[in-house]
Homo-oligomer: A and B are copies of this chain.
């Protein structure tokens, strides 16, 4: 199957934004949705698996559907965002208990099952769960692309800083969604990945 070595990870977008600073994330998240929703649709069409990896909000009894319901309840700050990014029946779901998508989750076995080698990463927040998930993906030696216009943070400073660090220190590819070709391949050569001398 074509595109099968790539997967799109969408991190913590099923989110009520009910935390200190959540009000600052909201406008950036609204912009993010405009890019991410059509990009996810394009990936689905191209046969690229779409995987929602999401905080369990300390609701250990929950499943993904409960988290979705919780975050789209009347009065949830993130309601519009969540609805716009509603998962499809063919998408995959992984609940995570901590920042990283890889910590104490079934994400690695799922990626093995799918044959994934390359990750496209998107979601909230660029400098926290996306950032730390990208770092774990780096240690696990996945090929990583973070989609700059499909992530957001509390401020553009936090966002830009995180992307800069991912590029400089981990050699992560950072690009916009429209720079990703069909099937997760790239329109133009990736940024020359700077060596990440381990320190």
Contacts and interface: CB of A to CB of B under 8 A. Distances in A.
A55 B99 CA distance: 24
23 contacts: A15-B199, A19-B199, A20-B197, A21-B197, A22-B197, A55-B198, A55-B199, A60-B93, A61-B89, A61-B90, A61-B93, A63-B63, A63-B64, A98-B139, A103-B109, A104-B108, A105-B106, A124-B199, A128-B169, A128-B198, A128-B199, A132-B135, A161-B161
A97 B109 contact: yes
Question: Chain A contact residues (Cβ within 8 angstroms of B): what range?
Answer: 35 or more
Copies in the complex: 4
Given A19-B199, A25-B199, A56 B132 contact: no
Interface in A8-45: 12, 15, 19-22, 25
A62 to B, nearest CB: 8
Given A64-B63, A104-B109, A127-B169, A198 B99 contact: yes
Contacts of A105: 104-106
9 nearest A-B pairs in the assembled complex, by CB-CB distance: A63-B63, A19-B197, A125-B199, A98-B139, A97-B109, A128-B199, A104-B106, A97-B106, A104-B109
